[in-house]
Amino acid sequence: MSKIPFPFEGYNEPSPKRIRVLFGGDIVVDTTNALLVWEHVYYPQYYFHKSDVTMTRLKPSTTATAADSSSEIFDLVMGARRATEAAVVYHSGPLADLVKIEFDKADAWFEEEEEIFVHPKDPYKRVDVIQSARHVRVEVEGIVLADTQKPRLLYETGLPVRTYIPKTDVRLDLLEHADLTSACPYKGVAAYYDVNVPSGKKEGIVWWYRNPTLECADVKGYVAFYDEKVDVFVDDVKVERPKTHF
């Protein structure tokens, strides 16, 4: 696991972008004064000054209460629609008079005119995709699942390097489409495969992007394996399995 020295947990800074948050056909936030707050080291969240939030859309939560008096939990309400536990208003401490809206509770988020997904991108992290000529072999229980000399390596700050392999170099006959997807603001929406081996099905250990974001377009149609769950050989040398960051 790579260490991430900055930004550290608790760090915050003003965002130079115009941020808008939509819910129920209404704009509940429209500001150029948002704060990026790192609740943990992996990525930030947007926090807003109360003056930039349509506070009439916030109603005391019907399902939860805050752990102490420093904050209060609210539902987001628009007409008949109600998103429970959608916002936190801070009354004291370093975040006093700020409002956090849970990203997945709103209908849409925009930075300037670009819609964003999953969570804000971290301005101090980047993703690079590099063509490689290394010989990469992937095995499960001694069965070769992939063997290539034209992998594409995806470097993402603070995370293990991921190897993307063209499907023509993968044992597709051993893969089965999984009922699973995940989303990343840097790469897009991933689909998954299970792997069928004699000992049984290995679920969700392979993923790929049908339509990745522009910055990661070079992995389109390539597949990646969870190195934590398979055996990887690079130039015939077995690679130590990485540790996950969560």
Domain limits at 26? 12-116
Tell me the pLDDT tens digit for each residue of 112-139: 999 999 999 999 999 999 999 999 999 9
* Domain contains 245: no
What CATH number is associated with residue 28? 2.170.150.40
Helix H or strand E encompassing 88: strand 81-90
Q: Are 57 and 76 in contact (CB under 8 A)?
A: yes
Q: CB neighbours (10 Å) of residue 188? A: 21
Q: Are 87 and 100 in contact (CB under 8 A)?
A: yes
Using the predicted structure, report yes or no on whether residue 74 has a pLDDT greater than 90: yes
Amino acid, res. 169: D
Mean pLDDT of the chain: 95
Structure tokens at 220: 């389109």
Rounded to 5 degrees, what are φ and ψ at 173?
-65, -15
Same domain, 148 and 231: yes
Q: Are 189 and 209 in contact (CB under 8 A)?
A: yes
Please report the DSSP string for 49-72 in residue order.
EGGGB-GGGEEE-SS---SSTTEE
Same domain, 43 and 65: yes
Q: Among 74, 96, 116, where does a domain finish?
A: 116
Write the CB contacts of 111 (distance below 8 Å, at least 6 apart in sequence).
17, 18, 19, 120
* Number of separate domains in the chain: 2
The predicted pLDDT at position 67 comes to 86
Averaged over 218-231, what is the pLDDT? 97
* Domain contains 59: yes
